Amino acid sequence: MNLPEYRNEPFGDITGAERRPTMQRALRHIHGQLGASYPLIIDGERITTDDQLLSLCPAEPTKVVGKVSKASSALALRAVEVAHARFAQWRRVPVEDRVRIVLRAAALMRRRKEELAAWLVYEVSKSWIEADADVAEAIDFCEYYARQALRHQATLQPLFTWPGESNKLSYIPLGAGLAIPPWNFPLAITTGLVIAPMVVGNTLVLKPSSAAPVIAAKLVEILEEAGMPPGVVNYLPGSGAAVGDLLVDHPLTRFISFTGSKEVGLRIHERASIRQPGQLWIKRTVLEMGGKDAIIVDESADLQAAAAGIVAAAFGFQGQKCSACSRAIIVASVYDTMVERIAERAHALLLGNPTAPETFMGAVVDKAAFTKISDYIALGQEEGRLVFGGEVVDHELLKDGGYFISPTVFADIAPDARLAQEEIFGPVLAIIKADDFEHALAIANNTEYGLTGGVYSNHFAHIARAYEEFHVGNLYINRKCTGALVGVQPFGGFNMSGTDSKAGGPDYVGLFTQAKVVTEKL
């Protein structure tokens, strides 16, 4: 099967004159679909339950994006059993046929790019630019993992020869697994967690985030339209308490791929390690669990570029990215200048309803996030000096009731302060003063996480030290620490940031396979 060389899906200018009318039409079209009901999908069957969760628009929580049926424990058990049963057929489908389904799904996403972006605007309050990038990344995951599956499974791996024997090494799929994506990249990451195991022959139960279940339903609809057989991916919304533990614990669950908080990831890892009655395997966990990411700026850096990169990484999508810059570590000689420039750039950011093309920051995802971030802002008043922002908008008083929080910058934060150690997952930046580059590097490494990091410097020795000593899975030199591209910057981190599984990398699909050697005497 010959495919064109992989290339990343272009972002384009979604707010420009060429695409703006298309996006505006898409927003109007999707607005007319808000409030629809979405059933569970098990073995291709649509199942409606009386117990429903409401997906609300964060910028206008009175708007219901969708009414989604919630799974009971009995339905969760059925979904796992269906996925296990369907694995027997799906694993035998030639890899080329599985790839064709995935590539058709990518083509459907490409044709509906603005429509999918509009869903992201409404369901998780992404700006147009952020939503467009999310859709592009989902397309990239389809295209990239399709090609990696062909490379991984279509050819036998080379082995040394031995007289009188034929020895062959191949990779076979694991079985029925569980995908638990987050709400912050509800199309891109969900697509990646589904496509990678599916394209190499596994079946899945997809338990979407309760904050973003509608866009996950749209993904499953696209896969079905692309030709995915029933039961290969089963759509199972539900709370973690009601069905999450049951799905993780089930003896037929072979693997769990998860992106989300450290606390939940560790809970999954712990529960998955316990052998259940009738369980024949050690469950495999693929975990990405967040970060406390830092950008270092030294005295040789381009300070304008550094300020721009820090602000973009700290406040893009309201800081709700595991890769977001939540710490800016600045050497003393340029500290005051950088604090001033960061504050100036934060002041220029436009906060508002993301349905408007000029909006840079929308609302945070829900009331729980709003309350948590508000508490951290109150803590910041005690731990540092408020430089900009700090306004926690009382959503009850707003016209649309949105969960809006201004970009907030605190300076003079101690390296061991809670604001410098704990993942906030919101638009709050802690600026920390370092004596010199060596001190800055020590501060950067002084957390339990190790996901992304950045260094702005024109000092060769400093850059070389960062290469060797900045302990993160993704390190960026003289650019922001967000925006990893599939196939270009494989993504995943160290320590409590997860299993460093490198999503979008050449080894990722292999995590959902196991090696088998066959020796035949000639």
Separation of alpha carbons 422 and 417, rounded Å: 9
Q: In terms of Cα–Cα distance, which of 125, 265, 268, 106 is closest to 192?
A: 106
Q: In terms of Cα–Cα distance, which of 107, 104, 120, 113 is closest to 18?
A: 113
**CB of 215 within 8 A of CB of 186?**
yes
Separation of alpha carbons 133 and 116, rounded Å: 11
* Residue 50 structure tokens: 């009386």
| DSSP one-letter string for 372-427 | HHHHHHHHHHHHSEEEE---B--TTTSSS----B--EEEES--TTSHHHHS---SS
Q: What contacts 157, CB < 8 A, 6 or more positions away? A: 169, 170, 171
Report DSSP state, residue 457. Answer: -
Containing H/E element for 27? helix 20-31
288 tagged catalytic:
yes
**CB of 325 within 8 A of CB of 359?**
no
Q: How many residues in the chain?
A: 522
Separation of alpha carbons 319 and 292, rounded Å: 11
Q: In terms of Cα–Cα distance, which of 322, 320, 418, 329 is closest to 378?
A: 418
Active-site choice (81, 288, 423, 448): 288
The residues with which 431 forms a beta bridge, in sequence order, are 328
Separation of alpha carbons 135 and 459, rounded Å: 37
Parallel, antiparallel or unpaired: strands 408-411 and 449-450: unpaired
Residue found by looking up tokens 């957390």 in the block: 447
Parallel, antiparallel or unpaired: strands 203-206 and 176-180: parallel
Separation of alpha carbons 20 and 410, rounded Å: 36
| Active site (catalytic) residues | 288
